A and B are shown apart, each in its own frame.
Chain A
Amino acid sequence: MFADYMLNAWVVATIVAVVAPVVGFFVVLRGSAFVAHAVPEAAFAGAAGASLLGLNTIFGLGAFALGASLGIGMLGRRGRHDVVTALALVMLLGAGSLFLGWSTEYAPEIYSLLFGEVLGVSGNEIGLTALLGALCLGAIAVLYRPLLLTSVAPELAAARGIRNHRIDMAFLVVVALATTTAVPVVGALLMFSLMVGPAATARCLTDRPLHAVVLSVVIALLTAWASIAAAYQTNWPVGFFVTAFAFAGYLLAHGGRWIRNAYSRPQAPLAGESAA
């Protein structure tokens, strides 16, 4: 499973598993999981369209992801995107299926855009993935503090002169970039689980923002590596394992927290109850 042709898979999955949860930490913090779901769908539609026109699929994918992010950001004012996002989401899925319907050959390449093709990553995709990933991480590192403040308390951010809408738009561009990085590898549907799953798990486990970011990355790496290994062993699709492991991690962390809380509660019944 560490043969030469598998090497690319390990490298690319590792890059994605570092970038996705770092971006995802803020996606979860801002409560924009829905946007993170819609942008990869846009990427899928863009790739399907590009392949129909005989263009580079990565290009079409990136263009649609960026367009969807900016569109959602501009239409949904004040950081509330849910209605616009929902409309964009179904519209993009529809467009994607239309493009697929028009396309004469049912390209497995496009199928892999939805569900990922970690085991078939080519060498020249690694360079692009690494570059876009580095861009995302750089942008998050630069914006870290204002992004953190606008995400938890926009009123406080505005009081410090931070322009919430600009930060919002910048962040949506980063989501689009991260999606472009990852969709060709893990697929539109699965990108979402690597972004949101580990970050949601990590924040049950720590109270510190920076620790939560690091922990999300660790969880995502374990998820991605375990998924590749399991896919290699079983020959089942890697996407199944990614989503299953991400969800299992989330359930475990929440279950753990629930048990901890249950035990830390005072054992003695309340005065009123004992009298009854």
Chain B
Amino acid sequence: MIGDEMRRGDVLALEGVSVWRGGRQILDEVGFSLAPGEFTGLIGSNGAGKTTILRVVMGLLAPAEGTVLVNGRPLARRNRSVGYVPQKVLIDPDAPLRASDLVALGLDGEKVGPRTPSRQRRQRVEEMLDAVDATAFADARVGNLSGGELQRVLIAHALISRPQLLLMDEPLANLDIRSGQEIVDLLARIAEQQRIAVLLSAHDMNPLLPVMDRVVYVAGGRVAVGTTDDVVRTEVLSKLYGHQVNVLRVDGRVLVVSGSHVSLDAIPRQSGAPAADASVEGR
């Protein structure tokens, strides 16, 4: 694990989290922590384990080993301080449900018993829709929204219960560059203004470079954590991948390309071994 020290006041702290699924180890001693208002990118290629990490943080998946602390406390099943936008949300276009209804369900969708409609409630939904620039399609059916519109509504759904941590699983996957940039800017603004820690997964880190405070780089179930400059470097990522990769910087963009696939035998790969140089330890 290439990790960082746990800090006081962290919204989220993972330590030594290992997960096995179907007889295979998916996460290997993953550890990192997030401070309030921090925008963190969870970067990794397909199948690296990003969704798995987010599901562990949500309490949807129990790790075989390790601890997950939210606000210094162990996970509870329903944690109001964590908002989550899943990778795939398919909504039937025939379902009679408006964008504003879905946002309202973010307020108290898990509660049983009849709901008392109140002006205060409606106002909060309106404010939330406004905060994510979704007022224009508040009355549209959720199933008919475009990818970018739906993404905004889902963010509003996740944020309306005022969480301290927002988890976003590949929100940019189906968006064009412009909508992606708009969503990223929106999230960065929210993180800063409301002191919400944002953990956003993506396979391409470039759209996040301007706003990302830190990066949690996932490969083969292990992570490297730190600022972009600390982590996204040829030596660090080669050690994480266990083979040669090259980090290229072109025009302010970062490219991580696989090298000659020569495995670096010199690098210890046994789990738990500190595989990184000192520069990525801590912050």
Contact = CB atoms under 8 A, between A and B. Distances in A.
In this complex, the interface size class of chain A, counting residues with CB under 8 Å from chain B, is 20 to 34
Contacts of A208: 96, 98, 101
A152 B154 CA distance: 13
Contact of B109 (A141, A155, A162, A202): A162
Contact of B96 (A141, A156, A203): A203
Of A143, A145, A159, chain B has the most CB atoms within 10 Å of the CB of A159
A160 interface: yes
Given A159-B60, A207-B139, A208-B101, A144 B115 contact: yes
B157 A156 contact: yes
Contacts of A149: 105, 109-110
Interface in B85-116: 86, 88-92, 94-98, 101-102, 105-106, 108-115
Secondary structure type dominating chain A contacts: helix
Nearest to A206: B96
A148 B101 CA distance: 10
A187 B141 CA distance: 35
B46 to A, nearest CB: 19
Contacts of B35: none
B77 interface: yes
B96 A209 contact: yes
B84 interface: yes
Given A156-B89, A159-B84, A160-B78, A29 B108 contact: no
B212 interface: no
A271 interface: no
Nearest to A213: B96
B110 A212 contact: no
Nearest to B154: A156
A71 interface: no
Nearest to A142: B112
A152 B109 CA distance: 12
A156 B86 contact: yes
A145 B105 contact: yes
Contacts of B58: 159
A158 interface: yes
Contacts of A143: 112
Contacts, number: 88
Nearest to B107: A145
Contacts of B142: 152
A203 B144 CA distance: 14
Interface string B114-146: 110000000000000000000000011110000
Nearest to B60: A158
Contact of B110 (A161, A202, A203): A161
Interface in A198-225: 202-203, 206-209, 211-212
B124 to A, nearest CB: 16
A218 to B, nearest CB: 15
Of A31, A202, A203, chain B has the most CB atoms within 10 Å of the CB of A203
A145 B110 contact: yes
A202 B95 CA distance: 10
Contacts of B89: 153, 155-156
A207 B86 contact: no
A146 interface: yes
A155 B141 contact: no
Contact of B95 (A141, A142, A157, A203): A203
Interface in B209-266: none
Nearest to A215: B96
B110 A146 contact: yes
Contact of A145 (B84, B115, B141): B115
Nearest to A25: B96
A44 B241 CA distance: 61
A46 to B, nearest CB: 30
Given A153-B89, A159-B58, A207-B96, A142 B113 contact: yes
A211 B139 CA distance: 14
Contact of A148 (B86, B92, B106, B109): B109
Q: Give the 8 A-B CB pairs with smallest separation, nearest first.
A: A161-B78, A159-B84, A155-B86, A212-B96, A149-B109, A160-B110, A203-B96, A161-B77
Given A141-B113, A152-B102, 6 more contacts: A31-B92, A153-B89, A153-B102, A157-B109, A207-B140, A209-B101
Interface of B: 58-60, 77-79, 83-84, 86, 88-92, 94-98, 101-102, 105-106, 108-115, 139-142, 154, 157-158
21 contacts: A31-B92, A141-B114, A142-B112, A142-B113, A144-B115, A145-B108, A145-B109, A145-B110, A145-B115, A146-B112, A148-B97, A148-B105, A152-B97, A152-B142, A153-B90, A155-B88, A157-B109, A158-B60, A159-B86, A161-B77, A203-B96
